Amino acid sequence: MTASVQERDLVVIGGGPAGLAAALAAKEDGIDDVLIIERSDELGGILNQCIHNGFGIHLFEKELTGPEYAERFIKDVMKEQIECLTGTVVTGLSREREITAVGQESGLLKIKAKAVVLAMGCRERTRSAIHIPGDRPAGVFTAGTIQQLINLDGYLPGKTVVILGSGDIGLIMARRLTLEGVKVQGVVEIMSYPGGLNRNIAQCLNDFGIPLYLSHTVVEIRGKERVEGVVVAPVDSRRVPILDRSFYVPCDTIVLSVGLIPENELSRMADVRLSSTTSGAYVDENLQTSVDGIFACGNVLHVHDVVDFVTRESWRAGKNAARFIKSGLPQCGIAVKPGKNVRYVVPHVVSGEQDVEFFLRVSRPMGRSVLSIQPGLREVRQRIVKPSEMISVTLSADVIAKAKSSGEIRFELDERGTGQ
Amino acid sequence: MVHFLECVVKAVSELVTRPKDSLGQFDILVIGGGVVGTAIARSLARYRWKTALVERFAELSFGTSKANSGIVHAGFHSTPGTLKAELCSKGCLMFPDLTSELDVEYKQNGVIMVAMSDEETDKLHMYLKQGEENRVPGMQFLSGDELRSREPNLSDRVVAGIFAPTGGVVSPFELTLALGENAAANGVSVFLETEVTGMEVRDRSIVQVNTNKGSIVARLVINAAGLYADKVANMAGDYSFTIRPRKGEEYLLDKRLEGTVHSTIFPLPTPVSKGILVIPTVHGNLMLGPTAEDTDDREDLSTTFEGFQQIFSMCSKMVNGLSPSDLIATFAGLRPASNRDDFVIGPSEQARNLINVGGIESPGLTAAPAIAEMVLEIVKDMSSDLGLSIEENEDYDPTRPGVRRFRCMTDEQRAAAIAEDPLFARIVCRCEQVTEAEIVDAIRRGARTLDGVKLRTRTGMGRCQGGFCTSRVMKILSRELGIPMTSITKRGGESRILLYEIKGLLSASSDSVGVVGSDRTLSSGASVDTSGGDSKA
C-alpha cells in the first residue's frame, strides 16, 4: 500500500491568495511543473467567505469582493493549466522537502519537491488563548467562523451579539450581522485604539450606530447551556480590568475578533526557524526561510491587513522559488532590525544586491512621524501611523548596500514635534 | 412539515397510552452515566440481569467524568486501610487489560511527586511508606539531579522526589464512553437525558423510580449519581452522607510542548487535594491543574482569573518552559466530594434495595474498575434477598470493536484505510487530523451532539478549537442523524449552536422560528426548523 514518491519541481501548500500568486509567478518564470495543494474543496482560501468589497484597491484600482478577487487568480491558474489538488491536506513536510498529503482524489501522496512555497494562511485566536473566565456555553464563536457560517453555510448564530476585539473581520461581521437583523450590542476593544482599518470603523460601525467600547474588555461569560450575557469592564492604562465599574450586557452570542496566528505547524515539522514576533518564518529578501528551497508568503509569514500586499509578496516568493530551482539564490548577510517604535520588519535579512520591499508594523499609534533607516537613508512619513496598518517601504539596492559594512539595517520611527 | 406533525401526534398518543410507566421493568437500575456508573453497568452485564442505566445529560460522561484529569494513580496518595487506598491500588493494575479490551488509549508513563524543600523531602518518606503499605509496586526515591536526568525540564527548585512506574494516563471521557458502549452492546439499556426526579418507597424498599421521561421499576437500584448521589439517596430516605462539590479548573496547552515532561508531575498534596499537577495527557498535550475550590453550586463549571494565575504560578515552580501563550483550552469540573473522608460504597442502611456508590472523588477514575467489581460482589450478596438469580451471561463480550484513529496510523496504515474507506482521506479537523470516517463511526457509536463527536474523535480539541471544523462536523451530524443544522446542540438541552437560518430574523416575526419560508432553499434544502422543541422523540 506504500505510495511511491513523486518528484515535482514546485509544490505550493495552500490555494488562497498567497498560494495562487506564488504558483502563477513561478509558472511565468518558466517552471512548468507546479502543484498547488489546497485543503478545502475550492481554491481561493478565506477570500471565498469574504463577500464584502474592498479587495484589489491597490492592485486593480477596483473594489472587488473576496470571491471576485480570488476568481481573477483562479482563472489564470486554470488558463496556465497549473495542477491543483483540492480537498487535500498536507500531513507532513521535511527539511528535505518531502511532502506527505492526504486527499480524496489522490489518497495518500508522497512528493519530493525541488522547492516548496508555504502559503497556509493563519487561524484565529480563541477564547482560551486570551483566557476569558466564566461559563462554557454554546454561542461563543470566532469572527471567521461566524463569517463562514453566515456567508457560506447560510445560518445565523443568534439574534443579540457582543463582539470582542475590533479586528477587521470583527468589524465586517458587525455590519453583516446587522444587515441580517441581528442586534449587535457593541464592539469591545481592550486597547485604547481600534484594531481594524479606519475605513472599517466608519463603514461597519459608525454607519450603523454600533457602539465601540475602547479600553474595555469582557471579564466573564455567563450562561450554562447557551450564552446569556457578558460582563464588560473598562481597563486601566496597564490593561487591568476595573471590576467595580463593570456592567452586564445580555446577548445570546459572543464573537471574538482578537487576532490571527500564522499556521506554522508544517513549518515546524521542517525545522523552519520562526520569529516570536510575527509567529511566522524568518525569511530573507527572496522570501526563503532558514531551510533551503522552502519559501513562505502571505499570512503564514506575517498577518497582513490588505490582500493586495499578500499577492505582491507572494508573487516575489514564486519568482524566487523559480530562480532557486533554475540557478540557486545568493546568500544574504545584512540583518534587518526593528528599532524604536517598530514591532517587526519583514524580510529579516537582505543582501544589498537588489531592491527590496519591506513590510513593517509599528508598536503603537503615533501622529505624524519620521521613519528613519540606519545607516544612510531617512524617509519622512507625513501621515498618522497605527499598528493595524502595515507600512510598505521599498529601498533600492545601493541604499541597502550601505549597510554592508555594519551588517545591519535598522528601522526606527519617531513622532514629530507637535509644532510641526 | 409532515415529519414535525408526526412527531407531535406520536408524542400526544404516547402521553395518552403510557402516562407513567413508560421506561419498563428491570432487575437492576444504575443511576448515573459517568465512569463509575458505566463501569458498574458493564460488570453487571456479565450476568443475566436485566439492567438499565439512566443519565441526565445528552450523552454519557458529560458530567464530572468529562473534566477529570485522566490520571491513573499509582496508589501512594491514599491513607492505608481506606477504600480509596484499596480500590485505587487494585484499579490501577486493572487498567492495562481494561483499556486493551475496550481499545481506549492508555499510557503507563509513571508519576513523580516532587519535593521543593527539605521539609517536603521528609514528607516524601511518609508517602513512600504509605505506598509500600498500599502495595504500590516499583516505587523509587530519587534525588533532584536523578529526577532531572529523567525529566530535564524539572526546575532547579526540585530537590527530591518519588517515582512510581505504575501510574498512567487515560482519556477519562473516552474510557467512560467505551465502558457505556460495551455495556450497551452486552444488553444494558441506556436512557439518556433521563433525570431521576423522585422515588416511591414502600416498607423501606424503592418500588418505583420516577424520571422526566417516565418511571422505572427495578428490584435493585445502584446510586452512582455523582454530584447528586446524596439527593438520590435522600429520595430513598437515606440521609447518611452529603455531597459538597469541589471545583477544579484545568488548562490545556498546545501539543507543541509534547515531551516537556514524560511522567505526571505532582507536588506534595494539600489538605483537600493532590495539588496542581503537570500532566502529559494521553493525547500528547500538556494539561495543568486542577485547582480545588469548595462550592455549593452543583452546576458551576466556570473558570476564573484566580484559577488561571494560581495554576501557572504553581506549575512554573515545578516545570520550566510553561507559558500562558500556549493555552488552547480551559475548563472546569466538579469533584463529588462527600462529608466522609472516604468513598461511600455499600448497601444503604435505610433502603433495602439501594446500593450507594457516592463521594467518588479522586482517585475515583483509577478506582472505577475495582469499584465495579466490589459492587458486583455486593449485588451477588444481596441477590437472594432481592429475588435475583445469579446466572452468567455466556454471550458477554468484554471487547469493544476497535476505533480506527487516523492520527495514530503510520502512512502505510493510512493508505490502507483510505483504500478501504475513502472517507479516511477527508480530514475534517486539521489540527487533530480527524477524518470524516472517524466522525461517521462516532455517530454510529452514539454521538449525537457536537461535544459527543469531539470527545470521541478529538474534533475541535486542537489549537483552533473548532474554528475551522465546527461547521463541517455539524453538517455530518445533520446528514447522519437526519436533523436540521439548527437542531444540533453543543451538549444537549438548550445548547443549540445555530439559532436561525439566514434571513430568519428578517421575516415578519423574528421571535417565531417555527417554519422557514418555502422560498428559502439556498443552502440546506427545504429543512424544517423545529428548534423551538425537542426534535428527538
**What's A119's domain CATH number?**
3.50.50.60
- Whole-structure pTM value: 0.92
Within this chain, do residues A290 and A269 fall inside the same structural domain, yes or no? yes
Average pLDDT on B116-127 reads 95
Q: List chain A pLDDT tens, one digit each, 420 residues.
A: 456 899 999 999 999 999 999 999 999 999 999 999 999 999 999 999 999 999 999 999 999 999 999 999 999 999 999 999 999 999 999 999 999 999 988 999 999 999 999 999 999 999 988 889 999 999 999 999 999 999 999 999 999 999 999 999 999 999 999 999 999 999 999 999 999 988 899 999 999 999 999 999 999 999 999 999 999 999 999 999 999 999 999 999 999 999 999 999 999 999 999 999 999 999 999 999 999 999 999 999 999 999 999 999 999 999 999 999 999 999 999 999 999 999 999 999 999 999 999 999 999 998 888 888 887 666 766 577 888 889 999 999 998 998 999 999 999 998 875 433
Name the domain count of chain B: 2
Q: Is A128 on the interface with B (CB under 8 A)?
A: yes
Within this chain, do residues A199 and A235 fall inside the same structural domain, yes or no? yes
Of the residues B289, B305, B336, the one at which a domain ends: B336
Distance from CA of B397 to the nearest CA of A (A): 33
CA-wise closest residue to B458 among B431, B421, B426, B418? B431
Interface size, chain A vs chain B, as Cβ–Cβ contacts under 8 Å: 156
B425 and A107 within 8 Å at the Cβ level: the answer is yes
Domain CATH number, residue B126:
3.30.9.10
Give the amino acid at A303. V
Q: Is B503 on the interface with A (CB under 8 A)?
A: yes
B228 lies in some domain: no
Q: Is A384 on the interface with B (CB under 8 A)?
A: no
- pLDDT for A417 equals 56
Q: Check: CB of residue B355 under 8 Å from CB of residue B222.
A: yes
Within this chain, do residues A136 and A227 fall inside the same structural domain, yes or no? yes
Q: Check: CB of residue A77 under 8 Å from CB of residue A121.
A: no
Q: Residue B309's closest chain A neighbor by CA?
A: A131
Name the domain count of chain A: 3
Of the residues B310, B336, B362, the one at which a domain ends: B336
Nearest CB to B330: which of A107, A131, A219?
A: A131
B221 lies in some domain: no
- pLDDT for B272 equals 80
Enumerate the H helices of B280-363 as residue ranges.
Answer: 305-318
Q: Which domain holds residue B484?
A: 404-537
Of the residues B311, B336, B361, the one at which a domain ends: B336
Chain B residues within 8 A of A129 when measuring between CB atoms = 325, 327-328
Of the residues A240, A258, A276, the one at which a domain ends: A258
Chain B residues within 8 A of A136 when measuring between CB atoms = 301-303, 331-332
Q: Residue B252's closest chain A neighbor by CA?
A: A128
Within this chain, do residues A302 and A341 fall inside the same structural domain, yes or no? no
Chain A residues within 8 A of B303 when measuring between CB atoms = 131, 133-134, 136
* Residue-by-residue DSSP string for B149-186: HH-TTB-TT--EEEEETT-EEE-HHHHHHHHHHHHHHT
Within this chain, do residues A274 and A187 fall inside the same structural domain, yes or no? no
B-facing residues of A in 130-149 (CB < 8 A) are 131, 133-139, 142, 144-145, 148-149
Within this chain, do residues A133 and A119 fall inside the same structural domain, yes or no? no
Cell of B307: 484559577
Chain B residues within 8 A of A39 when measuring between CB atoms = 427, 430
Within this chain, do residues B324 and B421 fall inside the same structural domain, yes or no? no
Q: Which of A382-386, B52-56, B227-231, B367-371 has the lowest mean pLDDT?
A: A382-386
Q: Is B252 on the interface with A (CB under 8 A)?
A: yes
- pLDDT for A375 equals 77
* pLDDT tens-place string over residues B131-172: 999 999 999 999 999 999 999 999 999 999 999 999 999 999
B-facing residues of A in 153-172 (CB < 8 A) are 153-159
**B73 catalytic residue (yes or no):** yes
User: Is the bond into A17 cis (omega within 30 degrees of 0)?
Assistant: no
Within this chain, do residues B128 and B270 fall inside the same structural domain, yes or no? yes
A-facing residues of B in 473-502 (CB < 8 A) are 475, 485-486, 489-491, 493-502
B527 lies in some domain: yes
Distance from CA of A262 to the nearest CA of B (A): 11
Within this chain, do residues B509 and B432 fall inside the same structural domain, yes or no? yes
Q: Is B312 on the interface with A (CB under 8 A)?
A: no
Q: Is A100 on the interface with B (CB under 8 A)?
A: yes
Within this chain, do residues A389 and A361 fall inside the same structural domain, yes or no? yes
**What's the CA gap between B48 and A144, in Å, rounded?**
53
Q: Residue A139's closest chain B neighbor by CA?
A: B497
pLDDT exceeds cutoff 50 at B11 = no
**What's the CA gap between A168 and A189, in Å, rounded?**
12
* pLDDT tens-place string over residues B261-275: 999 999 999 888 889
In this structure, what DSSP letter does residue B264 have?
A: E
pLDDT exceeds cutoff 50 at B19 = no
B516 lies in some domain: yes
Chain A residues within 8 A of B334 when measuring between CB atoms = none
Q: Residue A39's closest chain B neighbor by CA?
A: B427
pLDDT exceeds cutoff 90 at B4 = no
In B424-481, DSSP assigns E strands to: 427-429, 434-435
B302 lies in some domain: yes
**What's the CA gap between A36 and A39, in Å, rounded?**
10
**What's the CA gap between B336 and B246, in Å, rounded?**
7
Within this chain, do residues B302 and B409 fall inside the same structural domain, yes or no? no
Q: What is the CA radius of gyration of chain A?
A: 22
Tell me the CA distances in angstroms from A385 to A342, A348, A365, B292, one per residue in order: 11, 21, 6, 47
Of the residues A274, A305, A329, the one at which a domain ends: A329
Distance from CA of A105 to the nearest CA of B (A): 8
Q: Is A365 on the interface with B (CB under 8 A)?
A: no
pLDDT exceeds cutoff 50 at B521 = no
Nearest CB to B471: which of A133, A136, A153?
A: A153
Q: Is A269 on the interface with B (CB under 8 A)?
A: no
- pLDDT for A130 equals 87
- pLDDT for B21 equals 60
**What's the CA gap between B29 and B456, in Å, rounded?**
26
Within this chain, do residues A92 and A204 fall inside the same structural domain, yes or no? no
Q: Residue A140's closest chain B neighbor by CA?
A: B497
Within this chain, do residues B327 and B433 fall inside the same structural domain, yes or no? no
B327 and A128 within 8 Å at the Cβ level: the answer is yes
- pLDDT for A367 equals 86
Q: Check: CB of residue A293 under 8 Å from CB of residue A353.
A: no
Of the residues A302, A329, A356, the one at which a domain ends: A329
Within this chain, do residues A1 and A92 fall inside the same structural domain, yes or no? yes
B434 lies in some domain: yes
Within this chain, do residues A338 and A399 fall inside the same structural domain, yes or no? yes
Q: Residue A110's closest chain B neighbor by CA?
A: B411
B209 lies in some domain: no
State the sign of the Cα–Cα–Cα–Cα dihedral B162, B168, B171, B176. Answer: negative
Domain CATH number, residue A362:
2.60.40
- pLDDT for A253 equals 98
What's the N-to-C CA distance of chain B in angstroms?
A: 15
B20 lies in some domain: no
Distance from CA of B34 to the nearest CA of A (A): 19
Q: Residue A150's closest chain B neighbor by CA?
A: B502
If you average pLDDT over every residue of chain B, what do you get? 91
B467 and A144 within 8 Å at the Cβ level: the answer is yes
Within this chain, do residues B304 and B439 fall inside the same structural domain, yes or no? no
Cell of A326: 533554475
Within this chain, do residues B443 and B533 fall inside the same structural domain, yes or no? yes
Within this chain, do residues A231 and A273 fall inside the same structural domain, yes or no? no
* Residue of B73, B77, B125, B262 marked catalytic: B73
Chain A residues within 8 A of B498 when measuring between CB atoms = 149, 155-157
Chain B residues within 8 A of A157 when measuring between CB atoms = 497-499
* pLDDT tens-place string over residues B384-401: 999 999 999 999 999 999
Within this chain, do residues B332 and B408 fall inside the same structural domain, yes or no? no
Do the bridges between strand B51-54 and strand B24-31 make them parallel or antiparallel, or are there none, so unpaired?
A: parallel
Within this chain, do residues B408 and B510 fall inside the same structural domain, yes or no? yes
Give the amino acid at B39. A
Within this chain, do residues B288 and B416 fall inside the same structural domain, yes or no? no
How much of chain B, in percent, has pLDDT values that exceed 90? 88
Q: Which domain holds residue A369?
A: 331-420
Chain A residues within 8 A of B411 when measuring between CB atoms = 2-3, 92, 100, 108, 110
Nearest CB to B470: which of A145, A181, A220?
A: A145
Distance from CA of B414 to the nearest CA of A (A): 7
ipTM rounded to 2 decimals? 0.94
Find the helix packing angle between A17-28 and A307-326, rounded to 10°: 40
Within this chain, do residues A264 and A245 fall inside the same structural domain, yes or no? no
